[in-house]
């Protein structure tokens, strides 16, 4: 069997991993060069944001109906709203605003199992845009080019959880000129428009804090993963879910002692990640998942298996230095790839991951803290200023087609 060709090498790696105590891990390494400087940016004083006051049916009432929305991985839209209401970058004078924000909770429509249903989202978003364009002059002068929206669905403003249908839908026409703040990111994809800001999915900071274990705990697990390998309910024939990458992980390494994998999520999930050297972060229905955030927070080197993924705050976080990228077609060689990484490179990645600023940038804490994901979003917006001449339309000029798109999206919300 191919995996047992590792034989003695596998034994050495396992022994090597057990020796990874935090005497080495506790040391941190500052991110060098422009990436580190960007990560430390302070956006306060560099931009002003006007927050539209919408009727509560677009946000607060939806949350009151289902408080579970506060804890799911799409919750960034809720916490971004709360942050901006009390942020020093907020202005109550729209005439001096650089950016305009419309607080719409488009993912807070959950199934009994807690999965978001995106089907009402386009109508809800259209309704909100019609409202602000009718009651304020600012949308109409740019058709949204100086507005930003948080759209943390699987495929952003394409508003569908299945890629094929998301591509068919495309980005909601009303948002074609706006800046989109979204978790979805994939190069050359119709659901990622140029100029979008890719953010991490929401992971509960307080919950993760309660599961921290002593820093000197050895990392005795080489490769760790908990999650689905197949989605029989939505992909009964197989091969479509995760483009077959998760299935390939399971088929090739389910019996490999270096791989600790299961579909079960144990109560020690967070603790186990802190005992692992590598944490698999494969694509699912979308390229991203909260595992990426969890891996960074717990110092587990993320093994990113998602071709052409655009990662959160890529201009601030040196993903190539802290993670390992494996092409989806190379999954059968995953054991060889990981066991071939020199120990000194593993240690360096761990030192970078131990940098507090790296972890902070991945979180949406309550209350907000300097350098967190909220501030990284503002940094991204500030770096787009000043607005170019193409942002403001000439008198009477129209670019967007309000009646374009699927017929169902045009129905009142």
Domains of the chain, start order: 49-202+370-386 (no CATH), 205-362 (3.40.50)
Q: Higher confidence at residue 187 or residue 4?
A: 187
pLDDT digits (tens, 9 = 90+) for 7-56: 434 444 544 444 454 444 447 776 554 445 567 778 999 999 999 999 99
Percent of the chain exceeding pLDDT 90 equals 82
CA end-to-end span of the chain, whole Å?
58
* H or E element in which residue 365 lies: none
Write the DSSP assignment of 130-185 as a string of letters.
Answer: HHHHHH-SHHHHHTTTTEEEE--STTGGG--SSHHHHHHH-S-GGGSSSEEEES--
Q: What is the model's pLDDT at position 161?
A: 87
Q: Higher confidence at residue 130 or residue 32?
A: 130
Tokens 């009432």 belong to 61
Q: What is the model's pLDDT at position 2?
A: 43
Q: What is the model's pLDDT at position 30?
A: 63
Answer for the pair 148, 101: CB distance below 8 angstroms, yes or no.
yes
Query: For residue 263, what is the DSSP state?
Result: S
Rounded distance between C-alpha atoms, residue 49 and residue 60, angstroms = 20
pTM: 0.91
Query: Does the structure show a pLDDT above 80 at 88?
Result: yes
Mean pLDDT of 62-71: 96
Mean pLDDT of 191-209: 96
Rounded distance between C-alpha atoms, residue 26 and residue 339, angstroms = 23
Rounded distance between C-alpha atoms, residue 142 and residue 98, angstroms = 12
User: What angle, 0 to 180 degrees and rounded to 10, lies between the N-to-C axes of helices 373-382 and 76-85?
Assistant: 70
SS3 content of the chain, % helix, strand, coil (to 5): 40, 10, 50
From the list 51, 40, 75, the residue with the least C-alpha distance to 313 is 40
């Amino acid at each position: 069997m191919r995996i047992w060709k590792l034989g003695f090498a596998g034994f050495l790696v396992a022994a090597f991993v057990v020796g990874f105590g935090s005497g080495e891990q506790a040391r941190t390494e500052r991110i060098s060069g422009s990436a580190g400087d960007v990560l430390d940016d302070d956006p306060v004083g560099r931009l002003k944001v006007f927050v539209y006051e919408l009727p509560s049916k677009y946000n607060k009432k939806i949350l009151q109906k289902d408080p579970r929305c506060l804890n799911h991985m799409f919750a960034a839209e809720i916490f971004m709203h709360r942050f901006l209401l009390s942020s020093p970058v907020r202005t109550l004078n729209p005439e001096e605003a650089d950016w305009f924000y419309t607080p719409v909770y488009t993912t807070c429509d959950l199934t009994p199992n807690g999965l978001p249903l995106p089907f009402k989202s386009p109508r809800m978003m259209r309704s909100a845009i019609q409202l602000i364009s009718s009651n304020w002059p600012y949308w109409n002068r740019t058709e949204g080019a100086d507005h930003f929206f948080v759209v943390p669905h699987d495929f952003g403003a394409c508003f569908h959880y299945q890629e094929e249908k998301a591509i068919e839908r495309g980005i909601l026409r009303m948002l074609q000129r706006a800046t989109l703040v979204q978790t979805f990111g994939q190069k050359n994809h119709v659901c990622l428009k140029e100029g979008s800001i890719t953010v991490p999915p929401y992971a509960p900071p307080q919950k993760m804090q309660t599961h921290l274990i002593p820093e000197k705990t050895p990392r005795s697990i080489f490769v760790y993963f908990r999650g689905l390998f197949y989605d029989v309910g939505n992909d009964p024939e197989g091969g479509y879910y995760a483009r077959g990458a998760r299935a390939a992980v399971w088929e090739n390494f389910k019996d490999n002692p270096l791989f600790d994998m299961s579909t079960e999520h144990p109560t020690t999930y967070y603790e186990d990640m802190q005992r692992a050297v590598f944490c698999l972060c494969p694509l699912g229905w979308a390229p991203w998942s909260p595992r990426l955030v969890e891996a960074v927070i717990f110092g587990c080197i993320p093994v990113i298996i998602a071709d052409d993924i655009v990662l959160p705050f890529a201009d601030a976080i040196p993903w190539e230095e802290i993670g390992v990228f494996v092409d989806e077609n190379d999954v059968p060689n995953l054991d060889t790839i990981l066991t071939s990484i020199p120990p000194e490179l593993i240690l360096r990645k761990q030192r970078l991951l131990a940098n507090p600023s790296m972890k902070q940038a991945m979180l949406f804490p309550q209350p907000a803290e300097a350098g967190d994901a909220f501030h990284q979003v503002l940094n991204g917006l500030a770096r787009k200023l000043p607005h170019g001449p193409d942002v403001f339309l000439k008198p009477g000029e129209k670019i967007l087609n309000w009646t374009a798109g699927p017929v169902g999206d045009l129905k009142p919300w």
